[in-house]
Structure 1
Amino acid sequence: MESRAGVIWRSLHNREKIGRRWNWHNLLVNSVAISSDGQMLASGGYTIKLWSVTTGREICTLSHFGSVTSVAFTPDGGWLAAGDSEGNIKIWRRS
C-alpha cells in the first residue's frame, strides 16, 4: 500500500526537519503552505486541511470546488487562498 505520509523541511539547504511526519489526506496532496507565524500548515488535495505545526493535529477540513492545485497564506497570515484545477479560487479568513 502506498504511504500518504510526508515530511516537512524547514529549508532545502540544511534539510532540517520541522519535527514530524504528517499523515496527509487519503489521496494526493498537490500543495502545502506554512503561515508566516509558523503555527499553521495548509495542505491541498481534493480538500484543504489545516494543521497545527506545534502538535501535528488536524484543525479542520475545508471544501473546494475541484482538485486543489495551490494553497497560500497572505504575508500577514490572516487569510488563506486556494486555487483548483478548474480555475476557481476560494479565500478564507484565518480565525
Structure 2
Amino acid sequence: MWQVASEKLNPEVQTLVGHEGRVWAIAFHPNGQILASCSEDYTIRLWDVATRNCLCVWQAHDRWLRSVAFSPDGQLLASICDNTIKLWDVKTQECLQTLRGHRQTVTAIAFSPNGQQLASSSFDRTVKL
C-alpha cells in the first residue's frame, strides 16, 4: 500500500505478503480498515490495513480470480473468475449466489451506490446489470 499526499506520492508504507500466485485486484472495504485481494492462487484474502495481518483466506473459485468489489454497506463481496461472478457474505465467507450470463471472461464488476445492483463488463462486448 502507498500513502498518498496532496503534493506527491510518498514511499511505500506497507507490504502485504501471503498469496501464492499473482495478485490481480484489490478493493477497500467501505470502512477503510479492511482490504480484499484476489489472486491466481484461487483465493480471496482479507487484510487488516492497520496491522497488515491477514484476517482470513478462502478458496473462492476453481480457477484464478480477476477482480473483487465490496458492496457499499460492506456486507457483500463480489468476485469474478472467467465468466462467473460470485457474491459472498463477508462475515461468513459463504457464497450466497453465483451469477452466470456472460459468454466470455468478465473483466470488471461494480456495485451501484445504493448496493441494489451489480454491474459487470465482459470480453463478450456486453455490460450486464
SS state at 1:66 partner: coil
Aligned residue number for residue 12 of structure 2 = none
Q: How many residues align?
A: 88
Deviations 1:9-54 (A, max 9, x none): 365xx46557321211111211110001000000011200000001
Does residue 1:61 correspond to 2:116, yes or no? no
1:72 is matched by which residue type in structure 2? A
Aligned residue number for residue 39 of structure 1 = 75
TM (norm. structure 2) is 0.60
TM-superposed deviation, 1:6: 2.6
TM-superposed deviation, 1:68: 0.8
2:93 is matched by which residue type in structure 1? G
Name the Cα RMSD after superposition. Answer: 2.0
Partners of 1:33 and 1:65 in 2: CA distance = 21
1:70 is matched by which residue type in structure 2? A
Gaps of 5+ in 1: none
Deviations 1:42-80 (A, max 9, x none): 001120000000111100111022111111101111110
Partners of 1:87 and 1:17 in 2: CA distance = 38
TM (norm. structure 1) is 0.79
Q: Which of residues 3, 13, 25 in structure 1 aligns to 2:61? A: 25
Aligned residue number for residue 30 of structure 2 = none
**Preserved CA contact (<8 Å) 1:73 1:81:** yes
**Preserved CA contact (<8 Å) 1:65 1:88:** no
Gaps of 5+ in 2: 1-20, 22-40
Partners of 2:51 and 2:108 in 1: CA distance = 23
Q: Measured at CA, do residues 53 and 15 of structure 1 come closer, stay the same or move farther in structure 2, by a change above 3 Å?
A: same
Q: What percent of counterpart residues are identical? A: 36
Aligned residue number for residue 115 of structure 2 = 77
